[in-house]
Amino acid sequence: MFRQLGPTEILIILGVVLLLFGGKKLPDLARGSGQALRIFKTEVKSLSEDAAEPATDATEDVVPAKQIPREV
C-alpha cells in the first residue's frame, strides 16, 4: 500500500522545506524538533517505568477521618 521514499523524493522534500523556512530558520527548527523528541522519549520512558512497578494497596495510606460529633 505504502512504498518507501527514495533518495529523489527525500531531496525534493528537503528542497521544499528549505524554500518554505529559509536557511536561517532551519537550525532553530531542527533544535526545537530535537528537544520535543527528547522530552517525548523521557515521558514515554517514565510511563513504562511506572507501569512496570508493582501496584501498592491504596488502603494502606488512607488515614481515617476524625469523628465529627453530630448536633441533634
Q: What is the pLDDT of residues 2-45, one digit of tens each?
A: 688 899 999 999 889 888 888 888 888 889 999 999 999 999 99
Please report the pLDDT score of residue 34 as a whole number: 93
Q: Read off the C-alpha cell for 32.
A: 526545537
pTM metric for this prediction:
0.47
Distance of alpha carbon 50 from alpha carbon 52, whole angstroms: 5
- Which residue bears the cell 521514499? 5
Radius of gyration of the chain (CA): 27
CA distances from 52 to 41, 44, 47, 58, 60 (A): 17, 12, 9, 17, 20
Q: Do you know the residue count of the chain?
A: 72
